[in-house]
Structure 1
Amino acid sequence: MQTNKINLLETYLSLYISPMQVLNATKKGDSDYVVLDIRNAPSQIKQDQIAGAIAMPAKDLPAHLDALDKAKTYVVYDWNGGTILGKQALLILLKAGFKAFELAGALEGWKGMKLPVEAV
């Protein structure tokens, strides 16, 4: 039983990537990471986003998979870690054969760490 719990937790944690890992990789300029803002809210609701992120609402993601580069690693985020959109977007990407992670802490955690954001 203990081994099953450990395996489940390791699998769960492997779905996430830390904000600092993403920030450090994207600072280099030749990063394989592409950050996707998958929030479904209209633009007038979204006042800011992670600097350099591409807006790709989760509801539109399946229709835009052909435009994504399978050589890249996608990092998806939603408003906060308690929502399911990030997990749904991650599942869509993984099922389609992409390398992908959900951003640990989501936008709320990123902003809480005072990491770079930009106006939408």
Structure 2
Amino acid sequence: MNDKKIELLQTYLSLYIDHTAVLADMDKETSQYVVLDVRNAPAQVKQDQIKGAVAMPAKDLAAHLDDLDKSKTYVVYDWTAGTTLGKAALLTLLSAGFDAYELASALEGWKGMHLPIETI
């Protein structure tokens, strides 16, 4: 029984990427990661985002897959780690053959650690 639990946890954890990997990549001239803000809200509600993120609401993501570069790795985030938009966006990307992760800390954790954000 423990083997199944371990396997499930390993799979679950493999869906996430830590903020340190994203931060280390941000300053590179050619970034491996593209950060997607998948929150379904207008800019005036969002007010800010992770520095350099691309706004791609989860509800619109499937319609814009052809606009994405399959050579990149996508990192999606939502308001908090407990919400489902990031997971839905991750499912859309992985199902379409993209390399992708959900940001483990989501926006709430990113801002809580005082990491780079920008006003929208």
TM-score bracket for the superposition, by shorter chain length = over 0.9
Q: Give the match for residue 71 of structure 1.
A: 71
> What is residue 89 of structure 2 aligned with on the other side?
89
By how many angstroms is 1:104 displaced? 0.5
Cα offset, 1:96, TM superposition: 0.1
Q: What's 1:33 paired with?
A: 33
The alignment of Structure 1 onto Structure 2 pairs a total of residues equal to 120
> Per-residue deviation at 1:109?
0.6
Deviation at 1:48, TM superposition (A): 0.3
Residue matched to 2:98: 98
1:24 aligned partner, one-letter code = A
Structure 2 gaps, min length 5? none
Is it true that 1:9 corresponds to 2:9 in the alignment? Answer: yes
Partners of 1:6 and 1:93 in 2: how far apart? 25
Moved over 3 A (4+): none
How much is the aligned-residue C-alpha RMSD, in angstroms? 0.6
Q: Which amino acid aligns with 1:108?
A: E
How far off its partner does 1:42 sit? 1.2
Q: SS in structure 1 opposite 2:82?
A: coil
Would you say 1:61 and 2:61 are equivalent positions?
Answer: yes
Q: Which amino acid aligns with 1:7?
A: E
| Distance (whole Å) between structure 1 residues aligned to residue 29 and residue 103 of structure 2 | 19
The runs of 5 or more residues in structure 1 that have no matched partner are none
* Partner AA of 2:12 in structure 1: Y
Describe the SS at the equivalent of 2:58.
coil
